[in-house]
Structures are given as structure tokens and as C-alpha cells.
Amino acid sequence: MLEEGPTVVGFFPFERKHFRVGRPIAAGVSDRQAVIHIPGLEWNNQELLRACQLDVWEFDHLVAGQLAAAGRNVTRHSSPIIGLSEGYHTYLTERQRTSKKTVKSTLHKQRKLERDLGATRLDLDVQDPAALALLMQWKSAQYRRTGRRDRFAIGWIERLLRDLFETRPEACVGTLSVLYAAERVVAAHFGLRSESVLACWFPAYDVSLAKYSPGLALHLHMAEAAAEAGVRYLDLGKGDEEYKQSLKSGDLLVGEGWIERPSTSALVRRLQRSPRSVVFSALAHHPTLRRGARGALRHFGRLRTRT
């Protein structure tokens, strides 16, 4: 907690790892990271790390407004969004102009899906555990097909989703959206929704219906329903996947990198990221750091051989 006298003025959420390294809470599913504070508060990253007994804080989705405060070890990335501030019709009209082929094809395939299976409809917020289980099954299969790590094989991620699904706070709700053709589930999505933003986490669809592009149809239906519910934008998350580029109407800016203070831990982390010549040059000019780095690497080695 950040305090000024008796008043709490901010929070710094992080998870402490080994060797005084901090990471965002729920790293891997957290799409926005920041020091959360009252407007106008100024903070120093070195003082923050020292007070939290950290040598390094790593992040991959730092909000744009804090990039300058993070310092030099940051790369900037675009995070696509579907903007809905002017309504779904305005968004769709713009997409038909700039991504005409994708939108036209998606709408055409949706009509074909409806002819073959029945009318489509989307329920933006479904309280159906069976639908959630189906989504997770589809997504796990997608991870395996594409050679990616199955996030639902990680216990805490599966538990987090179930907790968010079962807990219904007003400010931040785990939301399961389901696209049906007649009564058949053809695609689904689970993400976090606030009053104004729907963060897109886990979309998936029935691969036996892939020829109908149900995943793209799902996102268009979600955008329409979310706009009617007052959502200002769908946050598709950092990445250059083709579907994100086709659907996006704009981008947010996020940062990936780290802040550090002079320490052995920081040097070791930099060693893992930097060209060897740069690191060796730094060590050659800092004997104390060189000795500390050697000791730290020996310790890392002992830990590795135990596991």
C-alpha cells in the first residue's frame, strides 16, 4: 500500500518470486498492469522497489500512462481493441470499409450456418457450468493443436476461472458469452467485464464447424451485445493474430520489460536478456558485481540440480 500520512493513496499489486524478483499477479492472464493510485500521485520506481524489498519488477502489459515512469528497459506494443463508444453500427460500418473482405465473408458464413443449423443468437452472460466446461475443453484442444502450453492444465488458472465464474461482484465480473445456432453451442468466450470494458481472454469454437468461421461471428455478436450493455470497447489483448488485426478498430499501448535497482538479482536477470558481450563488459568494469554474479549463478546451479 502507498500511504501519505494516515491516507492510503495507492496500491502496487505484485507476486514475489525467488531472489527478490516481482511479477504481476496472475501473470499469464493479466492483460493490464500498473501501480494503482489516486490522480496526480508521483512515485519513484527505485523507492517503490526498495520499500517492497524487490530488486526487479517484471511486466508485460504495463499501462501506457506509466511507461515513462518505468524507465528505459521497456518495449512498447500495440494491444488491439474493438471500439464501441459510438455504437456497434458505427463500428461495423467502419470495419466493412477497412476490412471489407473479412466482414463480408463472416456475415455470409453466418447466414449459411443459420440455413444449415438454425438461427444464431448470443447470450452475453451465461451462468451455465456445462458451457464453461465445454469452452475449456475446446480451448485446451486448441492449445494442443497449435503446440502451445495448455493454460487449463495449470491448476491455478483453471481455479481462477471457476472462481471468477462463480463470484459475481458488480465492478469486475467473470463473464461467459455463448453463441448458439438453434440450441447448439457453436462458440464461447470467457473474460472479465467492467462497466465499460470487456477484456477478451479465452475464445474458442467447435472445430467441426470451422468452415462457418464461428469464432469471428462470436466476436461480432459479442461486440453488438456489449455495445447495447454500455461497454465502450472490447480489449482483444496484445498480439498480432490475424483475427485481431481484422476486427480491431484501434489500439491501446502497453509496455513489456522491467524496472530494477542496482543489485546482483537485477544483473542476473539482465544476463538472461542481454547479448553476452554487453554483460561481460559490464562485469569487467564492476568487480563487486562480478563476484556477486558468480555467487548467484552458483546458487542458481545448486537449486537447478536439486530439482
Look up the CATH number of the domain holding residue 216: 3.40.630
**Could you say which residues of the chain have pLDDT below 70?**
265-307
24 assigned to some structural domain: yes
Residues 89 and 227 in one domain: yes
Domain that holds residue 23: 1-78+253-261
What are phi and psi for residue 292, nearest 5 degrees? Answer: -65, -40
The pLDDT value recorded for residue 278 is 47
248 assigned to some structural domain: no
Q: d(Cα 20, Cα 150) in Å, to the nearest integer?
A: 28
130 assigned to some structural domain: yes
240 assigned to some structural domain: no
236 assigned to some structural domain: no
The pLDDT value recorded for residue 70 is 82
246 assigned to some structural domain: no
The pLDDT value recorded for residue 299 is 63
Residues 20 and 100 in one domain: no
- 3-state secondary structure labels for all residues of the chain: CEEECCEEEEECCCEECHHHEEECCCCCCCCCECCEECCCCCCCHHHHHHHCCCCEEEEEEEEHHHHHHHCCCEEEEEEEEEECCCCHHHHHHHHHHHCHHHHHHHHHHHHHHHHHHCCEEEECCCCCHHHHHHHHHHHHHHHHHCCCCCHHHCHHHHHHHHHHHHCCCCCCEEEEEEEEECCEEEEEEEEEECCCEEEEEEEEECHHHHHHCHHHHHHHHHHHHHHHCCCCEEECCCCCCHHHHHHCCEEEEEEEEEEECCCHHHHHHHHHHCCHHHHHHHHHCCHHHHHHHHHHHHHHHHHHHHC
The pLDDT value recorded for residue 284 is 55
Q: In angstroms, what is the C-alpha Rg of the chain?
A: 23
User: How many domains does the chain fold into?
Assistant: 3
From residue 39, alpha-carbon distances to 35, 36, 42, 213, 282 in Å are 12, 9, 9, 44, 39
46 assigned to some structural domain: yes
Q: Has this prediction a pTM greater than 0.85? A: no
